[in-house]
Amino acid sequence: MPKTKVKSDQNFKLFLNTRRHLLLAIVMIWATVALIFFAIKPQLSPILKLRSNLETERKQYLELTKKIQDLNNIKVSDQFLKKDKVDEVLPSHKPISELLFNLYQTMNSSNTNITALSINPGEIASESANVLIESSAQASQNPTKKNNKKYGILAMDLTVIGSEPEVDQFLDLVERISPLTSIVELSIKLKTNRDDTKVTEAQLLLNTYYYTQVITTRVEEELPSIGEAELKVFDTVQKFTPSEFKKPDTLEGANIEDLFGIKGFEF
């Protein structure tokens, strides 16, 4: 063995024996640096991301629990239990039969006579109020797909005859029937009958409103709240003339063998 090699081994052993702690310190410093840069630092940004995700999810969870709570409260709220009256005042379909029935009821209670009536219902099977259930992704994809028209109008020309107070009463009552109806044109004339009695004739153009807006429900969306003004409207609507209209559930004149009944022909 060469002399230099033996000397170097001895020096290294001496160095190991005498500077052991320094060597360990150097190893530890490198291990600390490695820990910081390769184990701790890479975890910091995922932790921050996880925290912010958790915050978002927690917020969403709180909103959902609030919504569940709200839905439970709604089911027992006085206003919601009486929502049928609101549906009656602003129905989700063209309310032709209801309007005619309630006009007849108004005519009877004001002792007037309807001498002419003209209505153009338009499309009977038009689009009525629908519910769109969509996810937030769908909502952002189709922002303009919603039906923005809130209500439809059913126009009716009407001529009413009666004494002046009776016609006045009719005019007063007609705006408080369901479905919601407004007088948009009115012409009042005094007419003399053949027996020289004077009658008042009112020619009216009535607009009756029905609901057409399509709504969108999303799980994460908050429920709308009812304000003071809407509560007032709700109370007013409850005072509208009650309707005795009942939706027919039988088809009258059905089960006939000859649909047309033309003499000489059998169908």
Partner 1 sequence: MQPVNFLSKLNSSLSKQQQRDRKIFKLALIFFSISLFSFVVTLGCTFYLQFKLKSIKTQITQATKQINTEKQVESNYIFFVNKLIIIKELFDKRADKQIAMGYFADLFGPDIRISGLNYNMEEGILSLTVTSPTVFSLENAFAALDNPEVTKNFSSLLKTNLNRNLQGEYRFDLIISFSEDSALVTVDKEYEE
Q: Find the binding residues for partner 1 in span 202-221 (CB under 8 A).
A: 207, 209, 211, 213, 215, 217, 219
State the nearest-atom distance from the C-beta of 60 to partner 1, in Å: 6
CA–CA gap between residue 11 and residue 29 (Å, rounded): 24
Residue 18 pairs with which residues in a beta bridge?
none
- Cα angle vertex 192, ends 191, 198, to 5°? 85
State the nearest-atom distance from the C-beta of 130 to partner 1, in Å: 9
Among 7, 9, 16, 57, binds partner 1 (CB under 8 A): 57
Which distant-in-sequence residues (6+ apart) come within 8 Å of 74 by Cβ? 80, 223
CA–CA gap between residue 180 and residue 203 (Å, rounded): 19
Listed ranges 3-11, 47-55, 97-105, 111-119: which one lies at the site for partner 1 (CB under 8 A) = 47-55
Whichever of 114 and 205 has its CB closer to partner 1, that residue is 205
Among 12, 15, 104, 185, binds partner 1 (CB under 8 A): 185
Token reading at 162 = 């009666």
Q: Residue 230: how many CA atoms within 13 Å on its side-chain side?
A: 8
Among 9, 46, 115, 191, binds partner 1 (CB under 8 A): 46
Among 13, 51, 145, 198, binds partner 1 (CB under 8 A): 51
Report 3-42 residues binding partner 1 (CB under 8 A). Answer: 18-22, 24-26, 28-29, 31-32, 35-36, 39-40
CA–CA gap between residue 154 and residue 152 (Å, rounded): 7
